[in-house]
Structure 1
Amino acid sequence: MTDQHTILWVSAHPEPQSLTHQLRSDGIAHLQAQGHRVMESDLYAMDWNPVVRAADANIPQDQRFQVAADVRQAYLDHRLPDDIRAEHAKIRDADALIVQFPLWWYGMPAIMKGWFDRLFISGFAFGKDADTGMRLRYEQGPFVGKRGLVLTTLGDRPASIGPRGKSGEITELLHDILHGTFAYTGMSALPPWALPSADFIHEYNDAWHPLRAKLDRLFSETPIAYRPQFTGQYTEEWELVPGIAPGETGLSIHIAE
């Protein structure tokens, strides 16, 4: 019997008949059939507003908008807009966050970037503990215990996202969300699932079967071993100490062997 978990599946694709949407629909049904509870945020269907504005902080139009500080205060004062609060509730409830999108210009679609911009704010996704002063990020982040998984489709050939590929190895290509968002907020970032040459998939099961197998490992797969920040591996300037991976550079040095 599979342990039951709560999962938030966030997707961004403008075409309901796309491969992305079919994989999303079948993926959610598969997880539900295993007994999991799945919450959904289909950003295009929701007509999600991706733009951070002063209205998010509920401040007067003639007042200077100090984005991080004002939105944080609005969060602490329970003054955030309803759409943000509704998504915050989903994130709080989730044991795992699945983020699904087509890779456009080596990044997520703007509507999904705006979902993170408006939701992952100081006080909620990172910051400092008001009582202890503890920095809430990485292994001390507020989302410790949650898992984060990226599902992406892209046009690159399979080898191009490999270790010697022109586009960069997939974990490094997605470093911003895997390390800079998932790991930064305390989540365990799972190795991403990527479907290259997605426009040339003619047999649906060639995409669905590997994804189904990936979803079956959602709560058992070993996360990427990103280094913790507060155990002496980094300086106060957030640079890897000289004794670890001496002489090496690049994103891969931030993953423990």
Structure 2
Amino acid sequence: MSKKVLIVYAHESPASFNAAAKDAAVAALTAQGCTVEVSDLYAMKFKAAATTEDITGGVKDAENFCYAKEIKLASEEGRLADDIKKEQEKLKEADLVIFQLTGVNIKMTIKPVFQFPMYWSSVPAIMKGWMDRVLGFAYAQEKRYSEGIFKDKKAMLSFTTDCPESVYSDTGINGDINVTLWPLQNGILNYCGFQVFAPQIFWDPATGSPESRSSMLEGWRRRLQNLCVEASVYFAPLDYFDKEKGFLLKPEVKEKYASKECGLTVGIHMGKPLPANSQTKAGV
């Protein structure tokens, strides 16, 4: 069955490694019969700031303006700005969403342009703006996490770093990459209900050899051949938590994991060691 894929892409240079990774994904997925659409945020000059301009016809409570409430109401009433509506339509039609992240780039006289990684251990402002504005209508306390509105869709992050994997280890100076990924993969994607694939991480391509960069891209192409049948990253389901007690783990769940060596997930560790690779490996 043909799948629809949306790649949300954030890099200014068509000669960057990130562009090569995006192009590799488009080619590999198209070859499998997928319909692939790319939202090139810099080319689109996508507005990052979430403001009252995102709502047509005026806000309901200007004195006590709350973006989350106003954007949800505007969505229900069809009063969103055109750029948001266009992206939401792409999102609603997609079976898989790939967030292609990047950082700054460096130019070399002979070699292609490559980029450094995440901005400040997160996504670039223009990507965060896309998430804030386009996913705004999915922010709902009555439908979140395993019951979120995108529970039938899949999503993943694909990004580069400006340092080797060791720097993002549990003893590295930047800290465990699993902890870095938790707010993005759980707080945004899982919150909206997405089944989250393990991220595609390109470790330090800017300082690697041409051969190592080619190897990274080839590994990405191979992964894409079976991506849609991969298992997703594990997150504790919503019914593990007691709504009446502030969404704390239910006693029976705590008892189930009491004898285990590690906690349940990165964010819910129960005072135990963090489970290794729970944000970077499928099904962990």
Instruction: Compute the TM-score of the two structures, normalised by the length of structure 2.
Output: 0.79
Of 21, 24, 37 in structure 1, the residue corresponding to residue 22 of structure 2 is 24
Aligned-pair CA distance for 1:141: 0.7
Report what 1:132 is aligned to. Answer: none
Report what 1:40 is aligned to. Answer: 38
Q: Is the 8 A contact 1:126 1:142 kept in 2?
A: no
1:174 partner SS: helix
**Relative to 1, partners in 2 of residues 1:20 and 1:118: Cα closer, same or farther, differing over 3 Å?**
same
Instruction: Compute the TM-score of the two structures, normalised by the length of structure 1.
Output: 0.87
Of 237, 243, 247 in structure 1, the residue corresponding to residue 255 of structure 2 is 243
Q: For structure 2, which runs of at least 5 residues remain unmatched after alignment?
A: 103-117, 270-277
Deviation per CA, 1:138-197, whole angstroms, max 9, x where unpaired?
A: 111110111111101011212223344332333322111211111111111111111111
2:156 partner SS: strand
Deviation per CA, 1:203-245, whole angstroms, max 9, x where unpaired?
A: 2312201211222232111111100012447773233344354
Quote the Cα distance in structure 2 between the aligned partners of 1:119 and 1:162: 32
**Relative to 1, partners in 2 of residues 1:136 and 1:60: Cα closer, same or farther, differing over 3 Å?**
closer
**Relative to 1, partners in 2 of residues 1:93 and 1:36: Cα closer, same or farther, differing over 3 Å?**
same
Q: Percent identity?
A: 28
Report what 2:113 is aligned to. Answer: none
Query: Which letter does structure 1 place at the counterpart of 2:214?
Result: N
Aligned-pair CA distance for 1:57: 2.0
Alignment of 1:6-25 (within 5 A): 6-25=4-23
Q: For structure 1, which runs of at least 5 residues remain unmatched after alignment?
A: 129-134
**Relative to 1, partners in 2 of residues 1:69 and 1:252: Cα closer, same or farther, differing over 3 Å?**
closer
Report what 1:67 is aligned to. Answer: 67
Report what 2:169 is aligned to. Answer: 162
Quote the Cα distance in structure 2 between the aligned partners of 1:12 and 1:191: 19
**Relative to 1, partners in 2 of residues 1:190 and 1:171: Cα closer, same or farther, differing over 3 Å?**
farther
1:136 partner SS: coil
Quote the Cα distance in structure 1 between the aligned partners of 2:242 and 2:201: 30
**Relative to 1, partners in 2 of residues 1:208 and 1:243: Cα closer, same or farther, differing over 3 Å?**
same
1:127 partner SS: coil
Quote the Cα distance in structure 1 between the aligned partners of 2:73 and 2:52: 12
